[in-house]
Chains A and B, each alone.
Chain A
């Protein structure tokens, strides 16, 4: 489509996309500051250069907060999708800081959290598992005759797992209303894509499972939105499972601790020129979808939101150690260490 096409989106929607993109980046940049100050527990994962994939895709779904909307399974690199589905910025910081006030009460890391009313289920670390889980979630939609669909994000590397294959095959056979979003950022930790697969594009995997697949420039938020919107219509209409490949590049290391010396700096430079946010910003101005003042105001607003949210969350308490025993079962509390009771009796 031409540069001028806004794919039928109105001014407010185009602005909302920009807000979601800048929020993703600003939130992650704020995390880096928090990490330098020693507030972040564990690893920090950036989605620099991948923001448009998450935002454009999630924007194409029905987002509700009453348990009737579409359903998202995001990854650690799809914060933009999580925010669009109503994931709170404060909770994002709480999770990374392992706060007791966070949605997992300090038990789980970063973007690994859940809200079934808003319609999102956070990942587990073992890769591929969420395809299986989302097959079951969307199977339920179909069984109940609901108009809802699901979307599961995962990486190029995760596509190699047995869980990916089994989950996708199950979903395909059962015609589960599910869109698989493969975040092809060309790296799985230090492993380049060609060592994880011999297909040239992940869309090539679709036919092997009898499902339709698309491949899209993951740095172009409108192109992503449009591709996923069309895929979603087919899936919702009963076609069953589909796959969409997002093509882009992981511009930072796997996590903050990885200086990615194995990546050719020239490649990174090349992809910097295709920054999804800068590109979309220019396009909005060029086509007069927004004024410079409007965009600056969004940037300012998002920056302030992140700053204020982070500052308030830093002050919140860490979880109370003994609360580690709760919620292992619905109806039982597990034993506390007898050596910490008074008097100590085994």
Chain B
């Protein structure tokens, strides 16, 4: 499925050419490389966001971009998420391909109006495609408290016309972001800040111009007893739970990483459920109205006969994200929760 084409080596800041040199990159570096390579490839790609230029972004994703591409294509904006996301939409009408950074995705809320009412409806209203990407850090575990930790997918999931991507590793992040920038639909791109610099996720990426198609999930662990459908940081907690279940219980767990939440890869989910007969959904987002409900109904519609147990979910609790470590650890779903749920389901 992945498309590979060779790219010409480009000149640029040292730290953005690690893949060209065959060096491993973190997920954050992979995202930076994707942005850099797309900007080199396509003049119409440009960046907007708070502190992305001189400072290189709150998480340094765009470090060196201002120096390389100049102020015309790397715009430090006023603190006005609604304003600059709307401006990005206008530029997209004119044939540019804006990539908007939201400093913390918790602060996307002022842009909710323009995203849901204007951007996502543009094509349907006859105003043409909307090739823009809105990306930024999400997720908890960093002791960031209620406003620097949220996952925002479900605030936007109910928005026809929008695509939502949420990678779990460097390879996917790079390929998905490139695909998102080339996509003619508006894409919300969530980057878990706990994965940005995770040492375990450093890997050497192909040095060609690969993309990862939107809307295609990936089976990251093969198994036969039980399916876990998950995405983002929870892929890693699920993988660690699966190891324990293998060693301690002899359970064979299959894990499907959604990668794109909207559109959802029903086929990949259904195929795995038909194989294992048991489904556990794991998401870091809060429980009520979380994506688990949508997955469960799709499986009920398409694979009911194959189910050998209830569809279960492991999620955060239905509260704002608390600040203190002890509260946040309780709030977030942990590998132990996945293990407990999997055992319950396996014994069902």
Instruction: List residues of A whose CB falls within 8 A of some B CB.
Output: 41-42, 98-100, 104, 106-109, 112, 124-128, 157-158, 160-163, 188-191, 195-197, 262, 318-325, 328, 334-337, 339-340, 344-346
Q: How far is the CA of A124 from the CA of B324 in the complex (A)?
A: 16
With A107-B322, A324-B322 as contacts: A160 and B79 at CB distance below 8 Å: yes
Decide yes or no: A189 and B78 within 8 Å by CB, A107-B322, A125-B106, A126-B107 being known contacts.
Answer: no
Cβ B323 vs Cβ A106 within 8 A: yes
State in angstroms the CA–CA spacing of A346 and B325 once bound together: 26
Chain A residues positioned under 8 Å from B337 (CB to CB): 337, 339-340
What's the nearest-Cβ distance from chain A to residue B198, in Å?
19
In the bound complex, residues from chain B placing their C-beta under 8 Å from that of A189 are: 50-51, 55, 58
The 7 nearest A-B residue pairs measured at CB: A106-B324, A321-B330, A190-B55, A125-B147, A98-B324, A160-B78, A339-B337
Residues A191 and B50 in contact, CB atoms below 8 Å apart: yes
CB distance from B75 to the nearest CB of A (A): 9
Q: Which residue of chain B is the closest to A109 with respect to CB atoms? A: B145
Other A-B pairs, 4, CB within 8 Å; known A125-B147, A125-B148, A339-B314: A107-B323, A108-B146, A191-B50, A335-B287
* B residues near A124, Cβ cutoff 8 Å: 146-147
Which one, A104, A106, A262, A334, contacts B317 given CB within 8 A? A334
Q: Which residues of B sit under 8 angstroms from A197, Cβ to Cβ? A: 78
Which residues from B are CB-within-8-Å of A188? 50, 79
Contact B83 A319, beta carbon cutoff 8 Å: no
Residues of A within 8 Å of B325, CB to CB, are 41, 98, 318
**Shortest Cβ distance from B58 into A: residue:** A189
* Residue numbers in A under 8 Å from B340 (CB-CB): 339-340, 344
**B80 and A324 form a contact (CB under 8 A):** no
> CA of A323 to CA of B324 in the docked complex: distance in angstroms?
11
Choice from A106, A126, A328 contacting B327 with Cβ under 8 Å: A106
B78 pairs with A106, CB closer than 8 A: no
B310 in the interface, Cβ–Cβ < 8 Å? yes
13 A/B residue pairs, CB under 8 Å, sorted by A? A41-B143, A106-B322, A106-B326, A160-B80, A160-B83, A162-B80, A191-B51, A191-B78, A321-B326, A325-B317, A339-B314, A339-B341, A346-B312
In this complex, what residue of A is CB-closest to B333? A337
Q: Which residue of A lies closest to B342 (CB)?
A: A339
Q: With a CB–CB cut-off of 8 A, which chain B residues contact A99? A: 324
- Chain A CB within 8 A of B144 CB: yes
Given A160-B80, A346-B344 in contact, is the A126-B109 Cβ separation under 8 Å? yes
Smallest CB separation, A107 vs chain B (Å):
5
Chain A contacts for B78, CB-based, 8 A? 157, 160, 191, 195-197
**In the complex the two chains form, is A42's CB within 8 Å of B144's CB?**
yes
Partner of A161, one of B55, B80, B322, B333: B80
Could you tell me if B147 and A126 are in contact, using CB atoms closer than 8 angstroms? yes
Q: Does B110 contact A (CB under 8 A)?
A: yes
Instruction: Tell me whether A163 and B110 are in contact in the complex, defined as CB-CB below 8 angstroms, given that A100-B324, A108-B146, A339-B336 are known contacts.
Output: yes
Interface residues of B in 52-95 (CB under 8 A from A): 54-55, 58, 76-80, 82-83
B330 and A324 within 8 A (CB): yes
Q: Across the interface, which residues of B come within 8 angstroms of A104, CB to CB?
A: 323
Known pairs A98-B323, A109-B323, A191-B51; A127 contacts B76 (CB<8 A): no
Q: A318-B326, A324-B317, A346-B310 are in contact. Are A196 and B336 (CB under 8 A)?
A: no
Contact A328 B318 (CB under 8 A): yes
Q: Nearest Cβ in chain B — how far from A208, in angstroms?
A: 16
Report whether A335 and B317 are in contact in the complex, using a CB–CB cutoff of 8 Å: yes
Pairwise interchain contact B80-A320, C-beta atoms closer than 8 A? no
Smallest CB-CB separation from B104: which chain A residue?
A125
Q: Does B266 contact A (CB under 8 A)?
A: no
Q: Is B329 an interface residue (CB 8 A)?
A: yes
- Nearest chain A residue, comparing its CB with the CB of B329: A321
In angstroms, how far is the closest chain A Cβ from the Cβ of B288?
A: 9
Residues of A within 8 A of B77 (CB): 195
Query: For the complex, is B319 an interface residue (Cβ under 8 Å from A)?
Result: yes
Given A98-B143, A189-B51, A196-B79: A344 and B326 within 8 A (CB)? no
In the bound complex, do residue A328 and residue B319 qualify as a contact, i.e. CB atoms below 8 Å apart? Answer: yes
Residues of B near A323 (CB, < 8 A) are 327
Which of B80, B106, B318 has the most chain A CB within a 10 Å cutoff? B80
Question: Is B344 a contact of A344 with CB atoms below 8 Å?
Answer: yes
Q: Is the CB of A320 within 8 A of B51?
A: no
CA–CA, A158 and B319, complex, Å: 27
Contact present for B323 and A42 (CB under 8 Å): yes
Which one of B144, B327, B329 has the highest number of Cβ atoms from chain A below 10 Å of its Cβ? B327
For window 37-55 of chain B, which residues contact chain A by CB distance below 8 Å? 50-51, 54-55
Bound CA span A336–B77, Å:
42
Say if the beta carbon of B128 comes within 8 Å of chain A.
Answer: no
Please tell me if B13 contacts chain A, counting CB pairs below 8 Å. Answer: no
B250 at the interface (CB under 8 A from A): no
CB distance from B323 to the nearest CB of A (A): 5
Residues of B within 8 A of A319 (CB): 322, 324, 326-327
The reply to whether B327 and A107 form a contact with Cβ atoms under 8 Å apart is: yes
- Which residues of B lie under 8 Å from residue A337 when comparing CB positions? 314, 317, 333, 337
CB contacts (< 8 Å) of B110 on chain A: these are 126, 161-163
B28 vs chain A, min Cβ distance (A): 16
